[in-house]
Amino acid sequence: MHLRAFIEEMERLAPPDLAEEFDCGRIGLVVEGRPEIGMVCCALDATATVVRKAVEAGVDMLVVHHTPLWTPVTALTGPTALLMRQLLAANMNLYVMHTNFDRAPEGVNDALAELLSLNDVIPLSLGLIGTCPIAIDELSRRLGGNIRVWGDLTTLSRLAIIAGSGFDPAFLAEAKESGANAFLSAELKHSVARSAPLPCIEATHYALEAPAMRRLATRKGWQYLDDPPRVRSIP
């Protein structure tokens, strides 16, 4: 497949106009390599480990959720230089789908809803709400553990989810008004937790977003390259 045809396919899957304004210039093809695409791999992040695995596998296109070039680059040094050196030396393409994939049908939030067996789903501004038939312990198991619950919550009924960093007071208020009895996202600030209108379940960014990239790899017949963060619980 030619590079242009691949980009068109990705844009049908996650249209760029679904992305948040802050993603302008940070999604799509961010590193251009060879024009013909044969082998494709995907990952949540273009970490040094993921890129090394991709180079070793002879990958033509690496599709990730988070760009490694978030801030304007005025100098290539340190880890960024190492990453770019590997990608460019391998003539590998790097394609990014971020908030456009969050919002897209069959995207990040839909994959998380599927993982948690949500049904009777309705949309939120940046996520969704669904009836959750599993207990909190099972939810924790499916997310790989390491969750924290803020507030009084014994059972799940209508669960609001926003994969990634979604603990915004406006989203919490919207979820409450839409009938949610709990809110699942990542990176909860103490000040937000104290004033939240409903119980909050805090998971890791990785746990909420990696399922979508795994499912994308399965659907497309690509290889998924994993590099989970090193997290451990200390009693």
Place of tokens 């190492």: 82
Instruction: List pLDDT tens digits, range 116-153.
Output: 999 999 999 899 999 999 999 999 999 988 799 999 99
Q: Which helix (H) or strand (E) holds 185?
A: strand 182-186
Place of tokens 């273009």: 46
Average pLDDT, the chain: 93
Residue 169 pLDDT class (50, 70, 90 cuts)? very high
Please state, in angstroms and rounded to a whole number, the distance separating the CA atoms of residues 176 and 196: 10
Residue 74 scores a pLDDT above 90? no
Q: Is residue 221 part of a domain?
A: no
Instruction: List pLDDT tens digits, range 87-105.
Output: 999 999 999 999 999 999 9
User: Under DSSP, is residue 201 helix (H, G, I), strand (E, B) or coil?
Assistant: strand
Q: Is residue 223 part of a domain?
A: no
Q: Which of 137, 162, 143 is nearest to 228 (CA)?
A: 143
Q: What residues contact residue 171 under an 8 Å CB cut-off, 6+ apart?
A: 124, 125, 126, 127, 160, 162, 183, 185
Asked if residue 62 and residue 112 are part of one domain, the reply reads no
Q: Is residue 215 part of a domain?
A: no
In terms of DSSP H, where are the helices of 48-204?
48-57, 78-89, 99-103, 108-115, 136-142, 169-177, 190-195
The token duo for 131 is 């009836």
Q: Is residue 194 part of a domain?
A: yes
Q: Is residue 224 part of a domain?
A: no
CATH number at residue 71: 3.40.1390.30
Count structural domains, the chain: 2
Structural domain range at position 15: 3-101
Please state, in angstroms and rounded to a whole number, the distance separating the CA atoms of residues 115 and 61: 27
